[in-house]
Each structure stands twice: as C-alpha cells, then as structure tokens.
Amino acid sequence: DTAVSQTPKYLVTQMGNDKSIKCEQNLGHDTMYWYKQDSKKFLKIMFSYNNKELIINETVPNRFSPKSPDKAHLNLHINSLELGDSAVYFCASSQPGGVGTDTQYFGPGTRLTVL
Amino acid sequence: ELKVEQNPLFLSMQEGKNYTIYCNYSTTSDRLYWYRQDPGKSLESLFVLLSNGAVKQEGRLMASLDTKARLSTLHITAAVHDLSATYFCAVDSGGGADGLTFGKGTHLIIQP
C-alpha cells in the first residue's frame, strides 16, 4: 500500500491557468507538507498543515493555497500559473514529537510544466 | 534563518573506494535527516539522527551527528554502483511540525 500518494504524476498546462495537485496519506500522521523542487534539485518547504491548521508559509506567493479537507489529505491549488512555477512538487507527512516517528515520508512527486 | 550546506555537491568515485559527504548547519537542531533520491524518483529516508554523537549504519552507509560542531557526515564504505544517487541532508530546527530545511544535495556517481 502506498503511504503517501499524489495525483497527477505529470501536469502540463498553459500560463494563467488554475490547477490542483492532490495528496493523500494513509499513515495516520497529523502533519502534512508541500515541498517544491526546482530544476537544480533544490528542495524548499512551502507549507505544512497540522490537524487542518496551517503552521508555516515560507514566502510562497498567495497564488498557492493549500486545502485540507481532512487529516489524510492536503491538496495544493495554484492560481494564475507562471513559467517559474514549473517544478516538481512533493507532498510529505510525519508524526512530529515522537522519538523515531518524526521522519517525513514523501510522495512520488508531481512534475508541473507551465508552457 | 537556518542554512544547511552540503559538500561536495558533486562526487564521482570508483567502486570499492570510501568517501564522506559533509553536512553543516547554522543553528541549533536536535534532528538531522539523510535522504536518497534517484533520478525522477521521490525521496527515500535513510537515517534520522536525534542526538549528539548518534551514529547509524545501514549496509555500506554510515551517518553520524555532532551537534556541537553542527556537523553530520554520511560515510560510504567500499562503494558500489547501486549507491549512485543524490543524497540530501535536512534539518528540522522547529522541534515539531515545521518543515525541513534541505541542503543542496550531493550528486554521487559511482563508476565501475
């Protein structure tokens, strides 16, 4: 069984469009995250959600909005896509606070290409 | 602002050799992680280091943590081709639900 899953795996779209990426985890974790990996493979945290509450937002444009319908899901909605949004987006989850249990588990990634 | 620096960023080595990847971070942290990423794939957790002096080993990889020096190392023993990948260290300074701050990654190529 897949622990953290994302859909779609690939997303190709035009500038100015709005798109969403879905993420689900079946690990029972309380916290979920979105990371962006750019073309140079650099990974940067975008958001984390803990029990449906936004914890951090690292200078991400407000065109990006995380939405969590429940503890197992954290979707990423992007408005007015720009060329610079092209990247691989990873969802992750963890159970913070417990020794040995706070490893972040990553989903397979969604490769977004904005034309 | 927490900064995480890895070196080298690129490493080409021959099978059978030993090498070490270094990870320095700028602020106090009680959690350090090592991840592996194969091309086009997700990140796979290798090690979680939770205390000063922690050492963990899995196969030909061994990771250690010196919180006083703010330094972690990933040592590769008798490298084999299958270990070719990009290795990331990451630090969690929040002690809770904050995201990880990643180093830029070390692209490791192991040649026969």
Q: What is the pLDDT of residues A1-45, one digit of tens each?
A: 679 999 999 999 999 999 999 999 999 988 899 999 999 999 999
Tell me if A56 and B98 make a contact (CB, 8 A cut-off).
yes
Q: Burial of A48 by CB count in 10 Å (0-12 exposed, 13-18 middle, 19+ buried)? A: buried
Distance CA B55, CA B49 (A): 7
B99: closest chain A residue by CA = A45
3-class SS string, chain B: CCCEEEECCEEEEECCCCEEEEEEECCCCCCEEEEEECCCCCEEEEEEECCCCCEEEECCEEEEEECCCCEEEEEECCCCHHHCEEEEEEECCCCCCCCCEECCCEEEEEEC
Tell me if A41 sits within 8 A of B86, measured CB to CB.
Answer: yes
* Separation in Å, CA of B92 to nearest CA in chain A: 10
Q: Two tokens at A97?
A: 């606070």
A35: closest chain B residue by CA = B99
**Residue numbers in A near B99 (CB within 8 A):** 33, 35, 45-48, 56, 58
Lookup result for tokens 């689900």: A24
3-state secondary structure (DSSP) of residue B27: coil
pLDDT beyond 60 at A101: no
What does each C-alpha distance from A47 to A52, A60, A85, A92, B46 come to in angstroms? Answer: 12, 8, 15, 10, 23
Tell me if A105 and B45 make a contact (CB, 8 A cut-off).
yes
- For A76-85, what is the mean pLDDT? 96
Q: What integer best gives the mean pLDDT of chain B?
A: 92
Distance CA A59, CA B110 (A): 37
Q: What is the pLDDT of residues B39-61, one digit of tens each?
A: 999 999 999 998 888 899 999 99
* Separation in Å, CA of B65 to nearest CA in chain A: 15
Flag whether residue A96 sits within 8 Å of chain B, measured between CB atoms: yes
What is the pLDDT, as a whole number, of residue A30?
87
pLDDT beyond 80 at B36: yes
What is the pLDDT, as a whole number, of residue B112?
86
Per-residue pLDDT band for A77 (boundaries 50, 70, 90) equals: very high
